[in-house]
Structure 1
Amino acid sequence: MNMNNLASVFIEKSILGTSVQILQIGVVFIKDNKFKYFYKYIKNDIKNSNSAIDWQDAVKLLDKIISDKKIILKNDDNNDFKILNNSYKKFLNKDFNNFFYDIAKNSEYLGYKKFNIDYLSSVYDVKFKNTKGLPTSVFKAQKIFAIGSKMFKLGLKNV
Structure 2
Amino acid sequence: MMALDELDRRILLQLQQNSALTNHELAARVHASPPTCLRRVKRLTDEGVITRQVALLAPEKLGSSLTAIVEITLDHQATEKLLEFEQLVANETAVQQCYRVSPGPDFVLIIQVADMPAYHSLAHRLFATQSNIRNVRSFFSIVRSKFETRIEL
Normalised by the size of structure 2, how large is the TM-score?
0.24
**Which of the pair has more CA radius of gyration?**
2
Say which structure is richer in strand: 1
TM-score after normalising by structure 1: 0.23
